Amino acid sequence: MNRIVWAGILIVVAVLGIFYFFRNQSPSMSSTTPTPASPSASQGGLTQSTKQYASAPEIAIDAKKNYQAVIQTSKGAMRVALFASEAPITVNNFVFLAREGFYAGTPFHRIIKEFMIQGGDPTGTGVGSPGYRFDDEAVTREYVRGTIAMANSGPNTNGSQFFIMHADYALAKNYVIFGSIEATDSTSLATLDAIASVPVGTNGTGEQSAPQEKVIIESVTIEEK
C-alpha cells in the first residue's frame, strides 16, 4: 500500500478519534433507565431525596435581587452567584429545589478533571430527575472555570442535574448557564479542585468519570439580598 493511501487512512482514523472524544465530552444525562436491582441506584447508602413533583415550580424569585447558593459538600463549600436576571426560570428552579432540601445527600456522580463535575441526581445514577422537565433559556456566556449550568438529555429537558466547569471548555451553548463561582473566591475554587481530583474509574460505557470516592452534597443554602 503506497504512502498516499496510508496517509489517507491515518487522517480518517484521527478525525474519527476527535469526533468520538468530543461526542463523549458533554455534560448530558443518560437516556438509559437503570433496572431496580442496579447497584448504582443505591450509591452505598446515600440519603437520597425521594421528592418528586408533577411540574416545574412557579416563579417565586425576584429577578432584581441577588441570589447566592452555598453548596456544602464532603470536600468543602462552594459559593455560587446565581444569574437571576439572565436565567430566571433556571435560577427559580434551582432555588426551589435547594430550599426543598432536594439536593441534600446526593452525590457528584460524574467527575472529569479539567472538564467538569456533575451532580443533582437524587439517584446518583445519571438518570434521576425531580419528576418534571422545563425549557431552555438563552445562553450568552461561555463555559469557563467555575460556571454552573444545567445538564440535559436534549433540548428543553432540564430537571435537577447540573454541572460546574472545572476548566474553560468550548462547549456548544446547549446547556443553560445560571451562575458562577467568583474567579477571586479561592476557597470555593479549592473545593472544586478537590472534587475534580477524586480518583475515577469507568462508568460502564468506557468513560473515565465514575468517582471511586463518594463526594456528597450535604446541603445547598440560598442567600438573597
Which of 31-35, 44-48, 153-157 holds the top average pLDDT?
A: 153-157
CA distance 180 to 188: 11
Q: Tell me if 104 is assigned to some domain.
A: yes
Going by pLDDT thresholds of 50, 70 and 90, the confidence category of residue 88 is: very high
Q: Tell me if 41 is assigned to some domain.
A: no
Phi/psi at 217 (nearest 5 deg)?
Answer: -85, 110
Residue 181 has pLDDT above 80, yes or no: yes
Q: Tell me if 102 is assigned to some domain.
A: yes
% of the chain with per-residue pLDDT over 70? 78
Q: Tell me if 45 is assigned to some domain.
A: no
Residue 1 has pLDDT above 80, yes or no: no
Which string of DSSP letters, residue by residue, matches 5-59?
Answer: HHHHHHHHHHHHHHHHHHHH-S-BPP-PPPPTT-GGGTTTT--------SSPPPP
- Residue 20's pLDDT is what? 41
Distance of CA 153 to the CA centre of its chain: 12
SS3 115: coil
Going by pLDDT thresholds of 50, 70 and 90, the confidence category of residue 21 is: very low
- Residue 23's pLDDT is what? 41
Question: Is pTM, for the whole model, over 0.85?
Answer: no
CB-based contacts of 100, cutoff 8 Å, min separation 6: 51
**How much is the mean pLDDT over the chain?**
85
Cell numbers representing residue 23 in the block: 461526542
Q: Tell me if 10 is assigned to some domain.
A: no
Asked if residues 71 and 104 have their Cβ atoms less than 8 Å apart, the reply is no
50-82 pLDDT per residue, tens: 689 999 999 999 999 999 999 999 999 999 999
- Residue 204's pLDDT is what? 84
* CATH code: domain of residue 184: 2.40.100.10
Question: Roughly how many angstroms between the first and final C-alpha of the chain, as a whole number?
Answer: 70
Structurally, the chain folds into a number of domains equal to 1
Which structural domain, as residue segments, surrounds residue 178?
Answer: 51-224
Q: Tell me if 137 is assigned to some domain.
A: yes
Q: Tell me if 131 is assigned to some domain.
A: yes
- Residue 49's pLDDT is what? 54
Q: Tell me if 174 is assigned to some domain.
A: yes
